[in-house]
């Protein structure tokens, strides 16, 4: 269950409700007038009554250590006694992210961090410093806006990406999630026997899209770190154009071209 305890940011509760429906998870909310600690407490009670085994309480974001909001977090912590307290930080802020994690740990006592926006220009410098400065581990990283873009953090894989060596293990794991072994083998046979057609091509492009953005996928392939954002955008545009061309073909045109 998700508990909507961010009563400050406009539309925060609505956004969480939409996310909950998308992933099939119930969302508990009481509007914006109730105290976050009371919402969290009542949400946990509701979750227990429904025998829910995992509860995630979403609280308001903080860009700096604010005494009033820190006290509010302490009240939430006291109300629900959480197993994990995770601070979400923006990778684009660099060293500031590490300092923020350290400050929150002193004030609240966090168990780890979630590092977001690693799909941008940041190459993970914040990831290298968070553990050293704060003493707290990074538990998850976000590489995009979708739920699928949230993944467990592996330090060795991050080091390989920073060095431009790619991340083959993560690439294989992502591929396995969107295509099973039988489909992959069937596709391989079609390619080897020159029977690979436009339908197969569309399946491939849709599978790649499910793996995440082009920039994310390219970042996992060794030797591809020199590809520029402009080249990636051009490639994405070209793929969409080809998909559109295939989708408007009639059966006769399709047979001719395949």
Return the percentage of the chain with pLDDT > 90, whole number: 27
3-state helix/strand/coil string of 123-182: CCHHHHHHHHHHCCCEEEEECCCCHHHEEECCHHHHHHHHCCCCCHHHHHHHHHHHCCHH
Residues 174-221 have pLDDT tens digits of 777 777 777 777 878 888 888 888 888 888 888 877 777 777 777 777
Closest CA to 149 of 225, 224, 235, 211: 211
Q: Which residue has the higher pLDDT, 34 or 97?
A: 34
Question: What phi, psi does 233 have (nearest 5°)?
Answer: -60, -40
When mean pLDDT is compared over 21-25, 129-133, 234-238, the highest value belongs to: 21-25
Q: Quote the mean pLDDT of the chain.
A: 81
The pLDDT value given to residue 258: 47
Residues linked to residue 86 through DSSP beta bridges, in sequence order: 112
Concatenated DSSP letters for 178-207? HS-HHHHHHHHHHHHTT---HHHHHHHHHH
Q: Which residues pair with 135 in a beta bridge?
A: none
* Whether the predicted pLDDT of 121 surpasses 50: no
pLDDT at 123 over 60: no
Lowest mean pLDDT among 29-43, 132-146, 154-168, 183-197: 154-168
Rounded mean pLDDT, 58-71: 82
Predicted local distance difference test score (pLDDT) of residue 63: 67
CA distance 29 to 4: 5
Please say if the pLDDT value at position 135 is more than 70.
yes
Q: Which residues pair with 151 in a beta bridge?
A: 141
pLDDT band at 115 (very low <50, low <70, confident <90, very high): confident
Please name which of 129, 115, 253 lies closest in space to residue 197, comparing C-alpha atoms.
253
Q: What is the mean pLDDT of residues 93-122?
A: 78
Domain boundaries, the chain: 2-165, 176-254
Q: Coil, helix or strand for 110?
A: coil
Domain spanning 2-165, CATH architecture: 3-Layer(aba) Sandwich (3.40)
Global pTM?
0.64
Confidence class of residue 102 from pLDDT cuts 50, 70 and 90?
Answer: confident
Residue 42: count other Cβ atoms within 10 Å of its Cβ. 16
């Amino acid at each position: 269950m998700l508990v909507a305890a961010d009563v400050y940011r406009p539309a925060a509760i609505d956004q969480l409700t939409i996310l909950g429906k998308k992933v099939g998870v119930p969302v508990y909310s009481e509007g914006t007038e109730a105290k976050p600690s009371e919402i969290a407490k009542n949400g946990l009670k509701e979750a227990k009554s429904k025998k829910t085994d995992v509860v995630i309480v979403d609280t308001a974001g903080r860009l700096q250590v604010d005494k009033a909001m820190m006290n509010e977090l302490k009240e939430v912590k006291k109300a629900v006694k959480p197993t994990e307290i995770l601070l979400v930080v923006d990778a684009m802020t660099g060293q500031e992210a590490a300092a923020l994690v350290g400050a929150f740990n002193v004030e609240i006592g966090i168990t780890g961090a979630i590092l977001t926006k690693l799909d941008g220009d940041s190459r993970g410098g914040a990831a290298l410093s968070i553990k050293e400065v704060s003493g707290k581990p990074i538990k998850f990283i976000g590489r995009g806006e979708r739920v699928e873009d949230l993944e467990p953090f592996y330090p060795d894989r991050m080091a390989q990406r920073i060095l431009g060596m790619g991340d083959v293990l993560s690439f294989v794991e992502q591929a396995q999630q969107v295509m099973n072994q039988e489909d992959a083998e069937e596709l391989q046979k079609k390619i080897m026997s020159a029977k690979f057609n436009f339908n197969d091509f569309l399946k491939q492009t849709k599978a790649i899209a499910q793996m995440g953005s082009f920039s994310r996928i390219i970042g996992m392939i060794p030797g591809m770190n020199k590809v520029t954002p402009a080249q990636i955008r051009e490639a994405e545009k070209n793929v969409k154009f080809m998909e559109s061309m295939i989708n408007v073909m009639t059966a006769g045109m399709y047979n001719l071209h395949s």
